[in-house]
Structure 1
Amino acid sequence: MKIKQTLDKIPGGMMLVPLFLGAVIHTAFPNAGEYFGGFTKGLMTGTVPILAVWFFCMGAAIDVRATGTVIRKSGTLVLTKIAVAWVVAMIAIRFLPEGGVQSGFFAGLSVLAIISAMDMTNGGLYASIMQQYGTKEESGAFVLMSLESGPLVTMLILGSTGAAVFEPHLFVGAVLPFLIGFLLGNLDHDLRAYFGKATQTLIPFFGFALGSSIDLGVIVDTGLLGILLGVVVIIITGVPLILADKFIGKGNGTAGLAASSTAGAAVANPMLVANMKPEFLPAAESATALVAASVIVTSILVPIITAYYSDYMKKKNPPLTKGPVDMQTQKTAI
Structure 2
Amino acid sequence: MKIMENVQKVPGGMMLVPLLLGATLTTLAPGTAKFFGSFTAALMTGILPILAVFFFCMGATIDFRSSWIVLRKSGALVGTKVLFAALMGMIASHFIPPAGITSGFFAGLSVLAIVASMNDTNGGLYMALMNQYGTQEEASAYALMTLESGPFMTMVTLGVAGLGNFPWQAMLGAILPFLIGFLLGNLDHDIRSFLGKAVPVFIPFFAFALGNGLNFKVIANTGLLGILLGVTVVVLTGSVLLVADFLTGGNGRAGVAAASTAGAAVGVPVVIAAIDPKFTPVVASATALIATSVLVTAIITPILTGWWARKFNNRSPFSKKLKVQQEG
Q: TM-score, normalised by structure 1?
A: 0.93
Q: Which moved more, 1:189-198 or 1:131-140?
A: 131-140
- What is aligned with 1:188? 188
Q: 1:12-161, aligned counterparts within 5 Å?
A: 12-161=12-161
Equivalent-residue separation in structure 2 for 1:105 and 1:316 (angstroms): 42
Equivalent-residue separation in structure 2 for 1:260 and 1:117 (angstroms): 10
- What is aligned with 1:311? 310
After superposition, the Cα gap between the structure-2 partners of 1:316 and 1:276, relative to the gap in structure 1 and judged at 3 Å, is closer
Equivalent-residue separation in structure 1 for 2:129 and 2:196 (angstroms): 21
* Residue 316 (structure 1) shift: 6.7
Gaps of 5+ in 2: 318-328
Secondary structure of the structure 2 residue equivalent to 1:177: helix
Equivalent-residue separation in structure 2 for 1:190 and 1:131 (angstroms): 24
Equivalent-residue separation in structure 2 for 1:83 and 1:317 (angstroms): 25
Q: Which moved more, 1:104-113 or 1:123-132?
A: 123-132
Equivalent-residue separation in structure 2 for 1:54 and 1:317 (angstroms): 38
Equivalent-residue separation in structure 2 for 1:184 and 1:229 (angstroms): 37
Encode CA deviations 1:227-268: one digit per residue, 9 max, x unaligned: 000000011100110110011x21101000100000000011
Contact persistence 2:18–2:207 (CA under 8 A): yes
* Residue 315 (structure 1) shift: 8.5
- What is aligned with 2:261? 262
Gaps of 5+ in 1: 319-334
Encode CA deviations 1:167-214: one digit per residue, 9 max, x unaligned: 111001101100100011001111010011110000000000000111
Equivalent-residue separation in structure 2 for 1:151 and 1:136 (angstroms): 28
* Residue 314 (structure 1) shift: 2.0
Equivalent-residue separation in structure 2 for 1:172 and 1:141 (angstroms): 24
Q: How many residues align?
A: 318
Secondary structure of the structure 1 residue equivalent to 2:108: coil
* Residue 68 (structure 1) shift: 2.1
Root-mean-square deviation (CA, aligned residues, Å) is: 1.4
Q: Computing the radius of gyration over CA atoms, which structure comes out larger, 1 or 2?
A: 1
* Residue 67 (structure 1) shift: 2.0
Equivalent-residue separation in structure 2 for 1:164 and 1:72 (angstroms): 29
- What is aligned with 1:322? none
Amino acid at match of 1:199: V
- What is aligned with 2:322? none
Amino acid at match of 2:145: M
Q: 1:167-186, aligned counterparts within 5 Å?
A: 167-186=167-186
* Residue 307 (structure 1) shift: 1.1
Equivalent-residue separation in structure 2 for 1:179 and 1:123 (angstroms): 18
* Residue 317 (structure 1) shift: 5.7
Q: 1:283-298, aligned counterparts within 5 Å?
A: 283-298=282-297
Percent of matched pairs sharing the same residue: 56
Q: TM-score, normalised by structure 2?
A: 0.95
- What is aligned with 2:277? 278
